[in-house]
Structure 1
Amino acid sequence: MDSGTVAGRYRLLRVIGTGGMSRVWLARDEILAREVAVKEVLAMPGLPAGQADLWTRTIAEGRAAARLAHPNVVRVYDVLFTGGRPWIVMEYVPSRSLEDVVRRDGPLEPDVAARVGLAVLDGLAAAHRAGVLHRDVKPPNVLIADDGRVLLGDFGIAVLHDEVDGPETLLIASPSYVAPERVRDHVSSVETDLWSFGATVYWCVEGRPPYARPTTAEVLAALATSPPDPVSLAGPLTEVVEGLLRRDPAERLTAAQARVLLADVAPAPRSAVVPALVAPLAATMRLFRSSAAAPAPAAPGDDRRRTAARILTAAIGVLLVAGGIAGLVSAYGSDGRPRFVDRAQSVGGTPQNGAAAAARAPATCADGAVPPGTGPLHGGTPSPAAGGDGLPAGWVWHDDPAGFRIGRPADWVRATAGGIVCFLDPAGGRRLTVGLAPPAVADRVAYWRAAEQDLLRLDPPTGYTSIGIGPVVYARGAADWEFTYAGGPGWHTQRRLFGVADGREFTLSWTAADGSWSAGQSTFRAFTGSFQSR
């Protein structure tokens, strides 16, 4: 190995992580021309330098991790011994650790923590099925990727079940996440991994480990004699956290039992492999400030559908005639990226900010009058049992010919424009749009950043303020874009790009009045939690 290359192939670029037993480098694979993460295995604390067991353990780790092929596990590419020490070559995942996310942004809401937990548990269960014990499940080893994935990484002290024959040498880098029987008996098992997983979920919702003590000695003493510190923020996750942290392994929740409890808090779309999300990282997104007037009152005697159509038509007409800003809309250019344009202040369709005609996109559903007779059931097939199948009371299932299924309020109106499906609140002021995006988006955060640049380059909206773009844990990976748009009482929109099992990419955009945004978040969560591709 020369000063900057491992095995003549992996060029070391910079250190991206350190731990008690390793240092991780960002490197470039010069043969395959790709970035990788290379872990340099260091001498274990308390063991003599050059300990022969170091290489044996590294091989065991590489063998263990190489047996895993799961979307929630960081992949291992190669195991080397060069320059007098072992190296492990892994998938490079641009990401933040779960520990960093919680330290910076604060504890996660229970539904978000449940979705992250489901992803980690799926990866851990896959390892157990392959005969691999992780032995170091903790927040620093859970990655929240920039593309929205959640991955369990660093099988740094993992061993195969059949290689554990008697008490092991206890390696404790983070005692707060080590099961009591590991400290007491120096043995590992599926149950000890599940205890560590429970401690990780505890961290998600509480922002601290289950044994928060000033020193390692105090942590170990409490671990041996005391129950975990009581939860205060776990809410509906209390049962699963307490069940995983039971002292007796025989009484501890199994992975299957824990998964059921987590799914009850955060039900996953049927198409999802990584269970759904609403963002652990920054930003839930804003947009659309407009001068919308209050909807016209319903005329006595109108039936429900005609009333809904009149209200929407009146409100949209005020927006267009009075010069209010209509919606931000998208179309796709030849490079597959979205193109945005602010629609007209008049029915004629001239872009408000003077964008070139070539950049114009089809009108959004909210930009044109709803056709007479359009009603709550138009364009879809609702379930007969409103509020059933996990939906909120007053909601129905909607099977859309555009290739998806979603729950929606029974009285909302469906409309379409330019390939976008919209669900509109008859009371005015709120809508959800569903659209298809180009397939196989490699970096969804970069996708939204490019869309934002296009918006600002073509027609920068008055008062545009970016709130944030970041990954979220939803479906097979997702990213959200949030920003505000000045004018009138103000609108607030959250846009989500995500992948589903068959390789398609969808967008969900939720728009509501800025003043009632927080109150409407439960409605958006119900939409995202029910979405299924078909």
Structure 2
Amino acid sequence: MGVFLGLEEGLRPLTSDRKQDGRRIAGRYQLQEPIGKGGMGIVWRAYDELLDRTVAVKEVRYAAALGDEVQLLNRRTMREARAAARFEHPNVIVVHDVIEEDDRPWIVMQLVQSRSLGTVIKQDGPLPPKRVAEIGLAVLDALHRAHEAGVLHRDVKPENVLLADDGRVVLTDFGIATLETETQLTVTGLAGTPAFIAPERLKGLPARRESDLWSLGATLYTAVEGRSPHERGMALATMHAVLTDEPDPMPHAGTLTEVISGLLVKEPVQRLTYEETQRLLRAAIAQASPPPTAQFPAAQPIEAPTQAKARKVPFPPVSASRPRPAPAPAVDETPTDPKLAAAAPAVPETGARLSPMTEERRPAAAPTVDTARTGQVRAGMVVAAAAAVVLVAGVGGYLGLRSAPDDEASRGPVASAPETPAQASPSASPSASPSESASEEPAPSSSPSSEPKPTEPADALPAGWEIYKDKKLGFSIGLPKGWDVWDRGGRQVKFKGPGAASNAYLMIEEAAKPGSDPYKDWKKQEPSLKHNFGGYKKIDIKKVDTGKYDYMKAAADWDFTWNTNTGKTRVRNRGFVTDNGRAYAIYWHTLKSHWKDDYDFFEGFCATFKPAK
């Protein structure tokens, strides 16, 4: 797994990799271990002691610079890092802090568990045109937003495009990786990247917005063909080819041929615009997708583990009745417009997180650029996926929007749909878009028999489980033996452990501004967020019968599948509000092939969860 700074493999380290383990930067960031290195420095996994979170810290070094040149580069690095920190976008790495220590910059950024597009190509081979088009839309949207903020990237390449484990496409190193003065380019300064630098920059001309678009075209070419369009084996030969030769043939590009060719035009003014690029990428996706069915197919229940099967998580039988507070007012069950029913929970976020419980949120930005002639980016960022608003902070948001798509495995025993945590009847019929629901996953029946009856936690924990109490957020939950906190940040905590699929994890997130209807929130968020998850297929959004949980006032499940780097994944994102006015998301993510085997984990987590008082 890689991190975000576009660090290249095979470059020599500039310091002893573990020399500074344990060092504190700015009295706050404790360096834990080096996780990447490149021509511009070393990236460390670090712990932010003030905010109790794991971050990535880039130690910037200049191997070929001396004296006054170092000071100039330091000033420029600080200026451009601050510029990159001024804007937020779901597909852009988040810069948390910029520090100057030991006469050099240290850049504190979001830690993204991921593989770079470059690594994926090397390890797995070229990607199909449709997936490359989806990645291209996300990067295009990120570039458009950056350019509007006055920030040029100048180093778009596969190594700087991250395919995050939570499903996001994240562009890294805005104005940080390439810091040389445009009029003083050297072979050393271009080491590792000449094939992705636009012709005008190789001529010594200043970088411009069209330069980033050329690099995007070279990146898309590489993703679909497995090699760069002008690769000649040596830096000088490759640079000469970029300046004088047409791109090599692209036999595997298919529907991407027109857009890649239009981006790789040598004259900047003749290249495709944002709007033209967006239109062609969307067309490529549409041509590669099967036509929508005219009618929603007959719903078939999705099998969930039955009581007869051996269970990893033994629970006592559900009691006939259980005392609980007076029920909340019934939720409006009027079906929503089917056209708006399909969308994937986004994670978010490289930006803000989206939560079904978040009342105050901006629309999530899909990885596309508005086609209006004004060239403005489509308004909004992924709700609650990364912040409390849309990309990073919401309980249901990050879990439902960003993480949820990656967690296509959590479609539990409840026959209700996940939209808002409002109380609803299991018989409520979910609404769904024909094109979205007619996917690989048949929509589950709304009848109680469509899924196994949820088990009751009683007061006893399943055998071998232990109670985990979160000191920061106040909630508690039962965890299987060997499970522990894997990552945390803001109002979310992730857990991993043995016994489940390799990519399985649980996320608990609390909403900063609780709403009242999770079902409606999921419905509203899905259309804007589904584009952030490659291969997203909605299974259902259903209200949850909260009668068996004494802590839930209203709840909804958002179930979907999507394509992650580790395989087809299934997610259940359960958003709910509690009787004491709090709102949470229980986000379960596992391989689709392990859904049945791992389902008991989700049941156990829901049965043992206790909200903060």
- TM-score, reference length from structure 2: 0.50
- Following superposition, the deviation at residue 63 of structure 1 comes to 2.2
- Following superposition, the deviation at residue 402 of structure 1 comes to 2.1
- Segments of 5+ residues of structure 2 without an aligned counterpart are 1-19, 290-294, 319-334, 340-427, 452-485, 506-528, 538-566, 577-583, 594-613
**Is the CA contact 1:475–1:500 (under 8 Å) kept in the aligned structure 2?**
no
Is 1:217 aligned to 2:236, yes or no?
yes
**Is the CA contact 1:64–1:159 (under 8 Å) kept in the aligned structure 2?**
no
Letter in 2 for 1:402: P
State the alpha-carbon separation in 1 of the partners of residues 43 and 208 from structure 2: 27
**Is the CA contact 1:147–1:478 (under 8 Å) kept in the aligned structure 2?**
no
State the alpha-carbon separation in 1 of the partners of residues 572 and 215 from structure 2: 30
Is 1:353 aligned to 2:381, yes or no?
no
**Structure whose alpha-carbon radius of gyration is higher:** 1
State the alpha-carbon separation in 2 of the partners of residues 355 and 16 from structure 1: 35
* Residue in structure 1 matching 2:257, options 207, 230, 238: 238
Is 1:38 aligned to 2:68, yes or no?
no
- Segments of 5+ residues of structure 1 without an aligned counterpart are 269-275, 277-304, 317-326, 330-341, 344-349, 362-378, 384-399, 422-440, 455-465, 482-492, 513-534
**Is the CA contact 2:84–2:175 (under 8 Å) kept in the aligned structure 1?**
no
Query: 2:434 maps to what in 1?
Result: 406
- Following superposition, the deviation at residue 141 of structure 1 comes to 0.7
State the alpha-carbon separation in 2 of the partners of residues 249 and 35 from structure 1: 41
**Is the CA contact 1:479–1:498 (under 8 Å) kept in the aligned structure 2?**
no
For residues 420-459 of structure 1, the aligned pairs below 5 Å read 453=499
State the alpha-carbon separation in 1 of the partners of residues 591 and 48 from structure 2: 42
Show structure 1 runs of 4+ deviating over 3 A. 46-50, 156-160, 166-171, 352-361, 379-383, 412-415, 417-421, 446-450, 466-470, 473-481, 498-512
**Cα distance 1:355–1:218, how it changes in 2: closer, same or farther (>3 A)?**
closer
**Is the CA contact 2:45–2:57 (under 8 Å) kept in the aligned structure 1?**
yes
Query: 1:25 maps to what in 2?
Result: 44
Count of matched residue pairs: 362
State the alpha-carbon separation in 2 of the partners of residues 354 and 157 from structure 1: 51
**Is the CA contact 1:43–1:49 (under 8 Å) kept in the aligned structure 2?**
no
Is 1:98 aligned to 2:117, yes or no?
yes
**Is the CA contact 2:185–2:202 (under 8 Å) kept in the aligned structure 1?**
no
Q: Provide the aligned C-alpha RMSD in A.
A: 4.7
Counterpart of 1:243 in 2: which secondary structure? helix
State the alpha-carbon separation in 2 of the partners of residues 139 and 250 from structure 1: 24
Letter in 2 for 1:249: P
Letter in 2 for 1:93: V
State the alpha-carbon separation in 2 of the partners of residues 498 and 356 from structure 1: 18
* Residue in structure 2 matching 1:144, options 163, 180, 183: 163
**Cα distance 1:49–1:359, how it changes in 2: closer, same or farther (>3 A)?**
farther
Deviation string 1:292-316 (CA, Å, 9 cap, x unpaired) is xxxxxxxxxxxxx9xx89xx9xxx9
Query: 1:73 maps to what in 2?
Result: 92
**Is the CA contact 1:38–1:87 (under 8 Å) kept in the aligned structure 2?**
yes
Letter in 1 for 2:263: L
State the alpha-carbon separation in 2 of the partners of residues 213 and 167 from structure 1: 24
**Cα distance 1:90–1:416, how it changes in 2: closer, same or farther (>3 A)?**
same
Is 1:172 aligned to 2:195, yes or no?
no
State the alpha-carbon separation in 2 of the partners of residues 244 and 500 from structure 1: 42
For residues 128-527 of structure 1, the aligned pairs below 5 Å read 128-157=147-176, 167=183, 171-173=189-191, 174-267=193-286, 328-329=303-304, 342-343=305-306, 351-353=308-310, 358=315, 401-407=429-435, 415-418=445-448, 453=499, 475-476=531-532, 495-497=569-571
Name the structure with the higher strand share.
1
